[in-house]
Amino acid sequence: MGYISPSARNLGIALLIACWSSAAYGAAQCSKTSYGEARTLITSRLLETGYSRTQTRFLMRNADQRISQLRSAALSDRAKPCRIDSARAYVLGCVDDQLFPLKGSKASLDAMRQASFWGKTRLTGRELLFIGSFNACLGAAKQALFRG
């Protein structure tokens, strides 16, 4: 996985703990927006809050790849009425809820850090925040909406 600085690791752990229960609770409900709408919203929010176009394309391409692996056949009985598009939209809605607004941090969100995720070995704080939030929301959705 690569080296992760103690401060980045602690931030990731704090995000995971803070987000897990609220993400899991929210994942049990149907999303009111489609996956396409959720994707458009979070893409716009990333760009509006200082993520570069390159960072946004990288993050959304990898998020799309991982979300596309969620299959309707694996939906739990409780989530089947919502359908797969809703379950996929919920992951991005959760990331949006957890990640925004980005404020209050004294650390530079644009500083590069040695961390290996999604095929890159150096990531900015912004990218690490998105990836951490995304993984927490994806895990919560898998636990709440999918079997096995």
Q: What is the domain partition of the chain in residue ranges?
A: 6-145
Q: What is the pLDDT of residue 13?
A: 52
Q: Which residues contact 96 (CB under 8 A, 6 or more apart)?
A: 38, 41, 42, 45
Mean pLDDT for 111-120 is 92
- Band of the pLDDT at 22, cuts 50, 70, 90? very low
**Among 9-23, 67-81, 107-121, 124-138, which is the least confidently predicted range?**
9-23
Q: What is the dihedral of CA 16, 20, 23, 25, to 10 degrees?
A: -170
**Among 6-10, 58-62, 96-100, 141-145, which is the least confidently predicted range?**
6-10
pTM: 0.70
Q: What is the pLDDT of residue 30?
A: 83
Mean pLDDT for 80-105 is 85
E strand or H helix that includes residue 117: strand 112-117
Position 117 pLDDT exceeds 90: yes
Q: What is the pLDDT of residue 99?
A: 85
More confident call, 24 vs 86 = 86
Output phi, psi for 32, to 5 deg.
Answer: -85, -10
Using the structure block, give the residue that is written with the tokens 């994942």: 27
Both tokens assigned to 68: 């596309």
Q: What is the pLDDT of residue 138?
A: 94
